[in-house]
Structure 1
Amino acid sequence: MSITIAVYGANKICPSCVNAPSSKETFDWIKAAVSRKYPEFNHIEYKYVDMFKQTNNNNEKKWIDQIQKEDLFYPIIVIDDQFVCEGDPRIKVIYQLIEQKIDSHM
């Protein structure tokens, strides 16, 4: 069982997210925080998706389309293709979903 945490965003900061970190900074922060919180769980994959780069992955296209249609503020966090949060993420929400996924597979 593995868990995939994806951060979708762009190098430029969301116009509605003044004073927030960039999407890439958010990705690095989540990766570091989750790795520290779950050091014994080696089945977490991390993926950063730049919404301005071409992709052939239909799931990635789906989330990018939602961001670009302004339904979502970037960055968005998706765990196993499940929307978690947008804009300035709350780490506790991310931890809760990871724990649910770990518990459901034990």
Structure 2
Amino acid sequence: MLQKKVEIIVYGAEQLCPSCVNLPSSKETYGWLEAAVSRKFPNQPFDITYVDIYNPPAEETKRDFAERVIEEDMFYPVVLIGDKVVGEGNPRLKTIFAELESQGYRAE
């Protein structure tokens, strides 16, 4: 049984990170991730939020993490589920799906 609706947060920027040149952009990753999760876990609600690390929202936790991505030179997009990093640079669906399943989501 699904406990609560999970929030997936994709931190990224318009510009690709230098080490991520041949990878999809943060916005593209956000788009395919939303589609993939919807397909894998139909009728199971989730929120997916895109946060621009150079223009983060006022919400303190998101702003603080956006600063961390920049300060620690993390490869973005960085994907968080709750406060757990489940993908960095080139997020793997398998890892993201496994975390969602550990939170009660069931593949259909």
- TM-score normalised by structure 1 residue count: 0.90
Residue equivalent to 1:95: 97
Matching residue within 79, 84, 95 for 2:81:
79
Runs of 4+ more than 4 Å apart: none
Q: Does 1:58 align with 2:53?
A: no
1:61 aligns to what SS in structure 2?
helix
Q: What pairs with 1:14-33 in structure 2 (closer than 5 Å)? A: 14-33=17-36
Q: Deviations over 1:16-35 (max 9, x none)?
A: 11100000000001000000
Count of equivalent residues: 102
Residues of 1 paired with 2:31 and 2:64: CA distance? 23
Deviation at 1:54, TM superposition (A): 4.1
Deviation at 1:13, TM superposition (A): 0.8
The root-mean-square deviation of aligned C-alpha atoms, in Å, is: 1.2
Deviation at 1:56, TM superposition (A): 1.4
Matching residue within 36, 42, 45 for 2:47:
45
1:4 aligns to what SS in structure 2?
strand
Identity of aligned residues (%): 42
Deviation at 1:81, TM superposition (A): 2.1
Query: Structure 2 regions of 5+ residues with no counterpart?
Result: none
Q: Deviations over 1:3-48 (max 9, x none)?
A: 000100001111111100000000001000000000121x201100
Matching residue within 67, 70, 75 for 2:69:
67
